[in-house]
Chain A
């Protein structure tokens, strides 16, 4: 009996904390359907009297969230593809191939895990300017690939090191070359750690603001975080459409979270241990 009451108490405590974590988000979602008079005059936790889907269409079209959304999707996908490809190739070379500078390369990559990206910002700005790609999509894609490579290489190398070589050896005996055995045998086996890296990179790139704010000057190329920030400046008066835009930009993350929450937890813990 005593144990039961204790458990109920714990449940109530956990519910309270859950409410504390979720209430701001609940407020965001209901605000996305309200107009200002309802937000200012109404009860904070009340549902909208009338569900204004117009906030969403206003955000999507007039506030150009559709454009920001497309920019974020394309930048994220391109970055993701190259990080996964380059990181798995580098990890393979560093763990399986034989050459002298193995240690040096791993050490240089370690800098990428340790040094904050803020320290690269000013020279990057000059490099991108000199290359003539400032304020193009490439101006953030290339740094995003560079920034996310080290952690990818480390996560994948750790996995490869613990992976037996027998399958690759069998592939060689069957007459596969290195390339063929890499793409046909190794890459499929790398799926679990690749999924972790993919989630890690997806969140990092989808949420990135500092580099986008520094290197993207064209309005048409703004990513979601950058677009939202400017949007909030212009729409400081009407909170409804801004809330709608924020809901839209979080949907892909929410979706990924619902689908892959276990994988996400894994990639976060793995990433944390590495840092």
Chain B
């Protein structure tokens, strides 16, 4: 068996097909993006090497780049500070031993499996000033003064998109936290009960510390999702009005495929990758403390 399993031809047979597809259509493009980013190129004419000029432009003269960075930050903060606590509360709710908890868990989770395109198109209609359900509902409860073109106004557009993201993904975080909570042994809570730690005290001294690994995963996931946001803004606002909802990924897409700035688009893509890797690494460092033992 050992000899059969170190047969070079067989190993190649098992690895080469998949590895080739992966290398050609994923790995090599990542490296090419880095190479493109050092050039001025429209995708048709020969490239000109311009060193770090694309990056200089990005950081100094391109105002909508900074707008996109700030918008990512808004997504990131809402994800971590609003969505995560709600998800935590939901996970607590559905992990109580009560009838129908599985139903509730399934209902809260369902939006997650729907495509962002679908969810975004649905909410475009919900926000629509004419046929949308939101304004109609506000009218019905005599809050007509609140009605407006939610996605068409620079003041409300970003917030409206953020609400959709929250609605779409709370169930995801809930599920991961719920899975984590299931892993905490009943014994801890029983022991805590004897010491008088119930309710909020039990959450603070048992659930939260024992869930810290899962919470870290959730935070990293939320942050990465925030930085990668594309579909929702592409479908709902296309970055508008006046760049108020633009994101790096969308900007990269527009620069490359609408304005034919392949070099500059690649620089934006490289920025995205580094941003994701660095922030994930930093978060892992910062959030990893010594393991708690009981």
Contact A275 B224 (CB under 8 A): yes
Q: Does A61 contact B (CB under 8 A)?
A: no
**Once bound together, how far apart are the Cα atoms of A232 and B15, in whole Å?**
43
From residue 60 to 117 of chain B, which have CB atoms closer than 8 A to chain A?
A: 90, 93-94, 96, 98, 104, 106-117
Contact with B along A152-183 (1 / 0, CB 8 A): 01000000000000001100100001110010
Known: A21-B171, A118-B272, A239-B131. Contact between A89 and B25, CB under 8 A?
no
Q: Does A81 contact B (CB under 8 A)?
A: no
Contact B131 A265 (CB under 8 A): no
Contact A39 B167 (CB under 8 A): no
From residue 49 to 102 of chain A, which have CB atoms closer than 8 A to chain B?
A: 82, 86-87, 89-90, 92-94, 96-99
Known: A44-B133, A268-B112. Contact between A118 and B25, CB under 8 A?
no
**Chain A-chain B contacts (Cβ-Cβ < 8 Å), number:** 265
**Once bound together, how far apart are the Cα atoms of A21 and B93, in whole Å?**
15
Instruction: Give the size range of A's interface with the partner.
Output: 35 or more
Contact of A143 among B26, B121, B136 (CB under 8 A): B26
**Once bound together, how far apart are the Cα atoms of A229 and B233, in whole Å?**
13
> Which A residue sits closest to B6, measured CB to CB?
A98
Q: How far is the CB of B137 from chain A (nearest CB, A)?
A: 6
Q: Does B150 contact A (CB under 8 A)?
A: no
**Once bound together, how far apart are the Cα atoms of A125 and B258, in whole Å?**
13
Q: Does A17 contact B (CB under 8 A)?
A: yes
Instruction: Give the size range of B's interface with the partner.
Output: 35 or more
Contact with A along B6-30 (1 / 0, CB 8 A): 1110110111011101111111111
Q: How far is the CB of B281 from chain A (nearest CB, A)?
A: 10
Q: Interface-forming stretch among B49-57, B189-197, B263-271?
A: B263-271
Q: How far is the CB of A226 from chain B (nearest CB, A)?
A: 8
Known: A90-B15, A149-B21. Contact between A232 and B124, CB under 8 A?
yes
What are 17 A-B pairs at a CB distance below 8 A?
Answer: A17-B104, A82-B21, A86-B17, A90-B14, A97-B10, A99-B8, A119-B33, A122-B29, A127-B32, A150-B26, A177-B4, A203-B113, A209-B234, A229-B117, A239-B131, A269-B175, A269-B176
If A111-B26, A120-B25, A146-B24 are given as contacts, then 5 extra A-B residue pairs at C-beta distance below 8 Å, sorted by A number, are: A89-B13, A121-B269, A143-B25, A209-B116, A272-B221
